[in-house]
Amino acid sequence: MSFTPPSQLTIDLDAIAANWRLLAARHVGQTAGVVKANAYGLGAAYVAPKLFAAGCRNFFTAHLSEALTIRPLVGDATVMVLHGMLPGEAVEFSQHGIIPVLSSLPEIALWAAEARRLGRKLPALLQADTGMSRLGLSQAETNILFNNRALLDGISITHVMTHLMNAEIPGHPSNAAQYQRIREFQARVPEAKLSLANSSGLFLEAKFASDLARPGAALYGVNPTPERPNPLNPVVQLHGRIIALRDIEPGTEVGYNGVWAARRPSRIATVAVGYADGYFRSLTNQAFGYFDGTPAPLVGRVSMDLTTFDVTGIANLNLGDSLELLGPHCTPDDLARAANTNGYEILTALGARYQRHYIGATPLK
Ligand SMILES: *Cc1c(COP(=O)(O)O)cnc(C)c1O
């Protein structure tokens, strides 16, 4: 006999495909799909083939291991690794036809050595640090590289790339500054195209979209334009199952440390979702569950496996019913505001214990 987990996460792959098309239609260049971190927690093995079926031919992951997972699922598409390579990994890249983003001189040396070993040219993207001080060639490394071009022998640079640090804030001066720096860098590699925009970058001036945009979050329904209505389709719904219902007297405390107490006769629904499922403890006393659209305030501490909601006065609510924790009444961006984080963290934290239901799955290979 098998038991299904009580709470259900619904992931609408058709909406993800529609979001990709919507983003791709915003510019003339190509549009990749960023599927790092298991497609922002939603399941790369489902998302990547769906994007491929929608027409996406370029994929980015963060890690080599993630790229190896999706490689067999995306046909002849290009698979690129944002974090590039560590010593010993070059052969794994070349064998599986995975393209690294090279962000330092040591990585360039590893990939050039692999090209020498194989006796053929190997493709790569070349990342410049234009402001984030995280990954990418520094100004000093850039100077060394372009004063000694033999370092690039055997490597064909398909794109130069950089990452915007304030793309969601139109008009932020760093956007223009980073654009200027990457164009100067690109001028040193005339054969290379440009990869610049993330999700929010596609909503800046047209020039930021570049030859190869790299949206992630917007594919998954996170609003890339925080000051404006979300132009994307919603993707996730989370329904938390009520596994206990009780009526309590005024003054009764609920949950660890009694951080909430009833002020009136109250009905409390205990839902089988907690911080171990990525429903953050910082949501304590801050969020709502919804029953048929009626809000039920989250009361008391979110604990590891359980969260309590005040469902006083909600008619027709029974044991075994579910509360909407993410969905039309509470988007990942809404829950993020309540938890003092961003929609990205809400999605990537979604736990492994949910029953996952995919809408529009392409047949899995
Ligand atoms: C994660 C990431 C992206 C995707 O960013 P979103 O804001 O999710 O669209 C693009 N480029 C790089 C370098 C990244 O690390």
Minimal-distance CA residue to ligand 1 atom 3: 198
pLDDT class of 193 with cuts at 50, 70, 90: very high
Q: In angstroms, rounded to a whole number, what is the distance separating the alpha carbons of residues 345 and 41?
A: 9
| Mean predicted confidence (pLDDT) in 217-246 | 97
Which top CATH class is 13-220? alpha beta
Write b or e for each residue in 194-222: b if 16 or more Cβ atoms lie within 10 A of its Cβ, otherwise e.
bbbbbbbbbbbeeebbbbbbbbbbbbbbb
Positions marked catalytic: 36, 256
CA–CA dist 54, 18 (Å, integer): 8
What is the per-residue pLDDT across 313-335, written as a single tens digit (0 to 9) for each? Answer: 999 999 999 999 999 999 999 99
* pLDDT, tens digit (0-9, with 9 covering 90-100), for 120-152: 999 999 999 999 999 999 999 999 999 999 999
Q: How far is the CA of 198 from the centre of ligand 1 (A)?
A: 5
Per domain, the residue ranges of the chain are 13-220, 236-330
Give the per-residue pLDDT at 229.
96
Task: Give percent above pLDDT 70 in the chain.
Answer: 98
Q: What CATH number should be reported for the domain whose range is 236-330?
A: 2.40.37.10
Same fold, 13-220 and 236-330: no
Q: What is the pLDDT of residue 112?
A: 98
With vertex at residue 224, the alpha carbon angle to CA 125 and CA 221, rounded to the nearest 5 degrees, is 100
Mutate to test the pocket of ligand 1, among 31, 196, 198 (most ligand atoms within 8 A of CB): 198
Take residue 230 and report the two structure tokens written for it.
Answer: 């979300």
Ligand 1: residues with CB < 6 A are 34, 36, 82, 163, 198-199, 214-218
Q: Per-residue pLDDT averaged across 199-214, rounded?
A: 97
**Is the pLDDT assigned to residue 364 strictly greater than 80?**
no
Residue with tokens 């190869």: 212
- Indicate if the pLDDT at residue 27 is higher than 60: yes
Structure confidence by residue, pLDDT tens digits, 29-72? 999 999 999 999 999 999 999 999 999 999 999 999 999 999 99
* CA gap 188, 194 in Å, rounded: 12
pTM summary value? 0.96
How remote is the CA of residue 200 from the centroid of ligand 1, in Å? 9
Does the structure show a pLDDT above 70 at 2? no
For ligand 1, atom 13, name the residue with the nearest CA.
Answer: 163
